[in-house]
Amino acid sequence: MLTKDKLIQSFNSRNACNAREGTNCYRLFHGEGDGYDGLTIDIYNEYVVVQFFKKELFRDRDEITALVVESITEKYRSVKGIVFKDRTQIAGENPQDARKSIPVWGNVPPDSYTVFQNNMVLDVDLLHGQSTGVFLDMREMRDRMLPFYDSCRSLLNLFSYTGAFSIHALLHGVSRAVNIDLSKTVLRRAMNNYQLNSLDCDGRDFIAGDVGDMLKVLRKKEQRFDMAVYDPPTFSRNGKKVFNVRRDYRKHLEMLSEIIKGGYVLTSVNAASISKREYRSYHPDDWMPVMWGNESKDFPFVGEPYLKVAVWKVP
């Protein structure tokens, strides 16, 4: 049962996040890890996003919403608006409509809104689509990457999304980052994030295309990078092409062995259904893990973490 005390207890456990300089977006309530499966609450500075992941919650939707609004407005007086996303809907002809946020209290967030994470300025969209534009659960891993940038001049960011890993690296001494993603839309958002952080924005460093195809091109051209970030979705479709972690992950990493020879690769899997042991098996046998991680502390878990992350040394 969800109670106000349970919500406030969860919010209080995030006080360290609230006091953290350079970050004003993080998870306030994380489903089963905070004692109520299927519900998540995220704060983005002045706005809060509430999400349902289980249909069973709809029976008590009004009561849950009232509790969340009361608890949020009591704990966070600076919050201007709260929106709700139904993550149980199956997208039909228009996926954006299925994932559009519904205002439940206060002001409606602007279409484009900037937040801070790891001292980066990032543009987020709290109203449309499934994801806001920043992955909150990678915050601590970004900080743990800092020592690896000392020996890194060039970064290859695969499935780069809105460019947060590249921006973080460039702000900490890396000279160049190449971003590859299938979506031209997210690459435009990445370019905007570069500009928000006063970084030089060369369009040649934003490549729209299939990661597998682009890895073949880079390998053929004998392109070399000091580091790569490989953070793929579990599943995606591009016309007739389908990316599947279990089929494609190791194949991509084997190509990276030539492109990142002697360097480092951060890899991740974001799926509770894939064990750490299986995740490890996707990597070439001669790659050596030098750092392990999982979701940030504001994402408490029961059992095994869903996010498996490691930095690997490529021989």
Indicate the domain borders of the chain.
Answer: 4-118, 135-313
Contacts of 9 (CB under 8 A, 6+ apart): none
Are residues 227 and 260 in contact, defined by beta-carbon separation less than 8 angstroms? yes
Q: What is the pTM of this model?
A: 0.94
What is the DSSP code string of 146-188?
Answer: GGGGGG-SEEEEET-TT-HHHHHHHHTT--EEEEEES-HHHHH
Q: How far apart are CA 86 and CA 45, in angstroms?
A: 21
For the domain 4-118, what is the CATH superfamily, name and number?
RNA methyltransferase domain (HRMD) like (3.30.750.80)
Q: What SS3 class is residue 122?
A: strand
Work out whether strand 206-208 and strand 227-230 pair parallel, antiparallel, or are unpaired: unpaired
Select the CATH number that applies to the domain covering 135-313 from these four: 3.40.718.10, 3.20.20.140, 3.40.50.300, 3.40.50.150. Answer: 3.40.50.150
Closest CA to 189 of 197, 314, 293: 197
Alpha helices in 221-274 (DSSP H): 245-259
What pLDDT, on the 0 to 100 scale, is given for residue 91?
A: 54
Please count the other Cβ atoms lying within 10 Å of the Cβ belonging to residue 151. 12
Output the DSSP codes for 27-73. Answer: EEEEGGGGT-TTEEEEEETTEEEEEE--GGGGGGHHHHHHHHHHHHH
Q: Which residue has the tokens 């490691």?
A: 310
Residue 27, pLDDT score: 98
User: 243-270: buried (b, 16+ CB within 10 Å) or exposed (e) per residue?
Assistant: bebeebbeebbebbbebbeebbbbbbbb
Neighbours of 14 (CB within 10 A): 20
Q: What's the rounded Cα separation, in Å, for the pair 7 and 10?
A: 5
Structure tokens at 291: 């750092």
What per-residue confidence (pLDDT) applies to 130? 87
Residues in the chain where the model's pLDDT stays below 50: 93
Of 200, 199, 213, 189, whose CA–CA distance to 133 is shortest? Answer: 189
Nearest alpha carbon to residue 264 among 298, 314, 196, 207: 314
